[in-house]
Structure 1
Amino acid sequence: MVKITIMGASGTIGKTVAFNLAEKDVIDEIIMFSRPSSHERVKGEILDMYDALAAEDIDCELKASSDYADLAGSSIVLITSGVPRKEGMSRLDLAVPNSKIVQEYSKQIAIHAPDSVILIVTNPVDVMTSIALKTSGFDKKRVIGLGNHLDSLRLKTLLSQHFHINSREIHTRVIGEHGDHMVPLLSSTTIGGILLKSFVEYMDLDVPKLVETLKNSGNNIISKKGATEYGPSYAISNLILTIANDTRKILTVSTYLEGEVEGVYDVSLGVPVILCKHGIKRIVPLKMNDEERTEFFDAARTVKKTTYELEKMLNKE
């Protein structure tokens, strides 16, 4: 039996993930956890979802809860709760209020669902991944951040649209920080098995503009509709289903590094990993060119500094 708990289920991302997972008909039970003040609204969301699922003959059990005891038996606990990002606000601006939420939830997960995998979506996700890891006391393989998985999907879309090629033919990856210090690995990107730099049409690609567009993707959406919704929700669902089904895909998530990539340590960053039912099976080695390596080190310094300052503040309280 596969049981998933979504903490922050009253929010747009939380409820969209819940419905997407239920619709796939491979999850047995989904706990939609929220604050008591949102409990009735979540119950309403569930009734609405049941009506839709009935049309597809899907029997996934959905339950609204504000009781930490209901986390028991969860295979995966998703933390989406936090102050939402607004236009012009960096993910790092969210660090202080969101760290307190992630810290409290991580403590409760350790008590009530000690064998689960924790998946962090709350921003700044790389910093929050380290907070959740150290607070829960879990093995780092079982504490994962959404990281650059969404960024990688966005880059894939941009390249697909530029070259007018089916996105299935494009294999690319973004690593580093889920933020301004993300690192697109264009040196190892392939189209139809051909390295991007060897692709004739690559000469027409404005790389600086591409990278800038990629970095501003989230803000661009927020400026137009107020929040990101479908992209993050489906990227999160993709990670959850990969773990739940033990499909062992290589995806780019945020994980705590201890020297596995370029000797970087004591910081959570997005890197390619093999995901399995126990969380991260292993980090996948990768090669970068000199420019990418420099950018990756910059990401490590930035996220490590923010994490250190945040932990120092939390320890004083």
Structure 2
Amino acid sequence: MAKISVIGAGNVGATTVQRLAEMEFGSIVLVDIVEGLPQGKALDLMQAGAIVGYDTKIKGSNDYADIVDSDIVIITAGAARKPGMSRADLININTKIMKDVCEKIKQYAPKSIVIAVTNPLDIMTYVALEITGFEPNRVFGMSGILDTGRFASFIADELAYSKRDVEAMVIGGHGDQMLPLPQHSSVFGTPLPELLGEDVIAGLVERTIHGGAEIVALLKQGSAFYAPSAAIVQMVESILRDEKRILPVSAYLQGEYGQKGIYFGVPAKIGCDGIEGIIELELTEEQEHALKESSASIRENIEDLDI
């Protein structure tokens, strides 16, 4: 059985542990710096097992030593962007958190696969790679699955079809410069452009790009966690079961899509070794231009990192 550690006992981390516990992949460690928080949530989730019907062992801890020999480490720890906080401020704060977390991962779980969830995601995943020194295939970020899930959900609602029959694809940076791909999205094999008009598709694309902000605005405090946790578990499942699924993740590019040395949302084959291949999709000239703009923004932020 696998050992999975989740760093950060906030909404995303705790909900991820709940979903993982119900899947019974193995033992789980929930780590947070706040005393009592991970222990209390772990105890609550353990007791839920007697009702829901799972025997997963869950430990809450404030000590990183408890992640020792983890197969997978999921990083959800980090500050959320608050009113008046610039993007640069958020990057600086979360870079410090990410450095501390990844130094501990390098020390206690040097053979693990690392899934980064902390925002700004593509940049923080790059920090994770630099600090751990792991192979790029073992360090990647959760982004595209979440963005693709939002796009698929909006498509299904627009067409009044089951979400199970919708295949969507979103690549690029995780944020306002993400790139939903209608021509690579379909409903039961039928390409989206054959089902909806350009104006309707444009509206769905725009809503997908701002999908996270829409939830933040409604919640007033906090951000999404149900869909992000579901995306994380889909990645974990493909790794532990060696499913080799093609999933959009933030992957380290080494020439793919004309990019090198940055993390970027692309479809990748995910198996027991982490990223086992990157799929290059055919893009329109306009999409290629948008992709370059998105990558340029990520690259600028990486160059300003203090690591």
* 3-state secondary structure, aligned to 1:123: coil
How far off its partner does 1:99 sit?
0.8
Q: Per-residue CA shift, 1:215-253, capped at 9, x if unaligned? A: 221111111112212111111122112212211111100
CA contact (8 A) 1:7 1:80 kept: yes
How far off its partner does 1:110 sit?
1.2
Give the match for residue 32 of structure 1. Answer: 30
- Cα gap change, 1:13/1:125 in structure 2, threshold over 3 Å: closer, same or farther? same
Q: Per-residue CA shift, 1:32-72, capped at 9, x if unaligned? A: 1111xx23122221221122111133111111122222121
* 3-state secondary structure, aligned to 2:35: helix
Equivalence map 1:70-149=2 (5 Å): 70-86=66-82, 94-149=90-145
Give the match for residue 291 of structure 1. Answer: 286
Alignment RMSD (CA, Å) = 1.7
Give the match for residue 254 of structure 1. Answer: 250
Q: Per-residue CA shift, 1:151-189, capped at 9, x if unaligned? A: 000000011111111122221110000001100111222
- Cα gap change, 1:93/1:176 in structure 2, threshold over 3 Å: closer, same or farther? farther
- Cα gap change, 1:91/1:238 in structure 2, threshold over 3 Å: closer, same or farther? farther
- Cα gap change, 1:193/1:88 in structure 2, threshold over 3 Å: closer, same or farther? farther
Equivalence map 1:60-79=2 (5 Å): 60-79=56-75
Equivalence map 1:123-202=2 (5 Å): 123-199=119-195, 202=196
- Opposite residue 32 of structure 2, the aligned amino acid is S
Supply the distance in 2 between the matched residues of 1:79 and 1:217 (Cα, whole angstroms). Answer: 22
Give the match for residue 277 of structure 1. Answer: 272
TM-score of the superposition, structure 1-length normalised? 0.92
Matched, 1:216 2:215: no
How far off its partner does 1:73 sit?
1.4
Supply the distance in 2 between the matched residues of 1:86 and 1:223 (Cα, whole angstroms). Answer: 12
- Opposite residue 203 of structure 1, the aligned amino acid is G
Unaligned runs of 5+ in 1: none
Unaligned runs of 5+ in 2: none
CA contact (8 A) 1:18 1:32 kept: yes
CA contact (8 A) 1:272 1:284 kept: yes
- Opposite residue 206 of structure 2, the aligned amino acid is E
Supply the distance in 2 between the matched residues of 1:272 and 1:58 (Cα, whole angstroms). Answer: 32
Q: Per-residue CA shift, 1:191-226, capped at 9, x if unaligned? A: 221222223xx1275233222211221111111112
How far off its partner does 1:93 sit?
5.1
Matched, 1:13 2:9: no
Q: Per-residue CA shift, 1:272-304, capped at 9, x if unaligned? A: 001011211111121111111111111110101
Supply the distance in 2 between the matched residues of 1:174 and 1:88 (Cα, whole angstroms). Answer: 29
Give the match for residue 45 of structure 1. Answer: 41
Once the two structures are overlaid, the 10-residue window that deviates more, 39-48 or 16-25, is: 39-48
* 3-state secondary structure, aligned to 2:239: helix
Q: Per-residue CA shift, 1:3-37, capped at 9, x if unaligned? A: 0001112x111111111110112x221011111xx
Supply the distance in 2 between the matched residues of 1:204 and 1:257 (Cα, whole angstroms). Answer: 31
Once the two structures are overlaid, the 10-residue window that deviates more, 212-221 or 87-96, is: 87-96
Q: Number of matched residues?
A: 305
- Opposite residue 266 of structure 1, the aligned amino acid is G
CA contact (8 A) 2:40 2:60 kept: no
CA contact (8 A) 1:88 1:219 kept: no
Supply the distance in 2 between the matched residues of 1:145 and 1:103 (Cα, whole angstroms). Answer: 16
CA contact (8 A) 2:29 2:59 kept: yes
Identity level (%): 34
CA contact (8 A) 1:92 1:123 kept: no
Supply the distance in 2 between the matched residues of 1:13 and 1:238 (Cα, whole angstroms). Answer: 14
